[in-house]
Copies of this chain bind each other. A is one copy, B any other.
Amino acid sequence: MTTDAFIEKLSRRAPLTNDEIDCLRSLFSPPKAFSAKTEVIAQGSRPGVSCLLVAGYCGRVNTVEDGGRQITQLGIPGDFLDLHSLLLDAMDHSVVALCDSEIVMVPHDKLRRLTETHPRLTRLLWMETVVDAAIHRQWIVSKGRRTGLGQLSHLFCETYLRLEAAGHASDFGFEFPISQTDLADIAGMSAVHANRLLQQLRADGLIRWTANCFTILAWDELRVLGEFDPTYLRLTRARV
């Protein structure tokens, strides 16, 4: 089952009891398919469900007045795309499928009931949103104080480790069916500039990215270039 990957991911942070696993399982229903470029959650809407991404990539998208687009979060399989909406109301941004994706919808009332009965699971879900915030802060650092190359390098290191922890990457390779335009909207740069930086990373033998398949050829160099320190991803066991 695809949702088991999520349970597996949580249990890597803290061991789960059978009761807790059952409680999580009771949240899930069969996934829905969303094709590339489809809007999963509309800006301004008040969703009654949160979305667990089980396959594909999704992005939180903010649109600015001049038509510019900024992606503020990259959702990978195993991510709760919008646990936030459990606590907030109207969406101030939209969630868009960046490629063909599969999503399990989890009703908010089920989640709210979970918070009444399972404090430890609640803290684990809370922790998911807190790690998301830590990732946000790293993106702020990237955009504020890293060079273009450093920014992309950091993003690729981060994405690889997150995917690996979710069981969707190994040997420095992963599926990455994202357009350069979307990548540019993630990095907050023009598509032209993103393209040139990618060419440089390729020419320097750091990455390969063809046919939707991304490979990190020189992890150590990429890590140094992006000043990447994975502490903030909290991939190790925690005390919750």
Mark A215-240 against chain B: 1 for CB-CB distance below 8 A, else 0: 00000000000010101101000111
Measured between C-beta atoms, what is the minimum distance from A41 to chain B in Å? 14
Collect the chain B residues with CB atoms within 8 Å of residue A92's CB: 134, 229, 231-232
Does chain B have a CB within 8 A of A140? yes
In the complex the two chains form, what is the Cα distance from A122 to B116 in whole Å? 10
Does chain B have a CB within 8 A of A32? no
B88 near A188: Cβ-Cβ < 8 Å? no
Q: Nearest residue in B to A84 (C-beta to C-beta)?
A: B130
In the complex the two chains form, what is the Cα distance from A2 to B86 in whole Å? 30
A238 near B89: Cβ-Cβ < 8 Å? yes
B123 near A129: Cβ-Cβ < 8 Å? no
Selected from B65, B73, B145, the residue in CB contact (under 8 A) with A188 is B145
CB within 8 Å of B: which A151-169 residues = none
Mark A189-209 against chain B: 1 for CB-CB distance below 8 A, else 0: 100000000000000000000
Does chain B have a CB within 8 A of A93? yes
B146 near A143: Cβ-Cβ < 8 Å? no
In the complex the two chains form, what is the Cα distance from A234 to B187 in whole Å? 27
Collect the chain B residues with CB atoms within 8 Å of residue A141's CB: 62, 64, 70, 72
CB within 8 Å of B: which A88-144 residues = 88-90, 92-93, 112, 115-116, 119, 122-123, 126-127, 129-134, 136-141, 143-144
Q: Nearest residue in B to A234 (C-beta to C-beta)?
A: B88
Selected from B84, B119, B130, B132, the residue in CB contact (under 8 A) with A115 is B119
Does chain B have a CB within 8 A of A12? no
In the complex the two chains form, what is the Cα distance from A167 to B136 in whole Å? 28
Q: Nearest residue in B to A43 (C-beta to C-beta)?
A: B231
14 additional A-B pairs beyond A88-B127, A145-B188, beta carbons within 8 Å, are A60-B137, A62-B137, A69-B145, A70-B144, A73-B137, A84-B133, A87-B126, A88-B130, A88-B238, A115-B122, A133-B136, A136-B137, A143-B144, A144-B188
